[in-house]
Amino acid sequence: MTRSPIGRVNPKGRKIIILVLISVFAVMFSVVMIANIPNFQGMFEAREVFKAYNQALIAKDYAMAYNLLAPETKANVSYDKFVGIEDKLGERIGALRSFSTSKMDTKGDEENLVTTIQANLTFEKGTLQFEYVFKKEHGIWFVYRFNEL
């Protein structure tokens, strides 16, 4: 039976090998974390817009909520149509009472960050799941799209 060369390493040598492996792992982990800093920051910033948007809907401040929509989204949905969508949802399931995130994901680089948030929205008559997509344009996060799951 042959023994592994590592099995013949003296205790001092084993410690050096372990320290080298730990150091390599620490460097690799640091590189991955540094590369993802924009994603973590973006996720936090998008979540703040998510909160502001839904708080505006709870307060029925539709103008505030509409202003958080991306310019390209507003180009496709007029303010009156937006209010109509919210009113129809209110007729169907009641007023929005609270909201919580169930899943968040941010992808892209600093110039093209996109965050997706899946959320539970609690209304007077029940809870619905929605998915929101946020985009950062010129340093500002906007609600790009939202739909009921």
Token duo for residue 72: 């390209």
Note the pLDDT of residue 124: 94
Q: Which residue has the higher pLDDT, 39 or 67?
A: 67
Note the pLDDT of residue 55: 97
User: Contact at 8 Å (CB) between 64 and 131?
Assistant: no
Question: For the chain, what is the mean pLDDT?
Answer: 82
CA distance 74 to 91: 23
Place of tokens 């009156």: 80
**Does the pTM exceed 0.85?**
no
CA distance 12 to 16: 7
Is the alpha carbon torsion for 50, 52, 55, 60 positive or negative? negative
Note the pLDDT of residue 136: 87
Longest dimension (CA), the chain: 81
Pairing of strands 140-148, 96-107: unpaired
- Return the bridge partners of 137, or none: 140
Note the pLDDT of residue 109: 67
CB atoms closer than 10 angstroms to residue 96? 21
Note the pLDDT of residue 15: 74
Judge whether residue 40 has pLDDT over 60.
Answer: no
Q: Convert the pLDDT of each residue in 84-94 to its tens digit.
A: 999 998 999 99
- Return the bridge partners of 89, or none: none
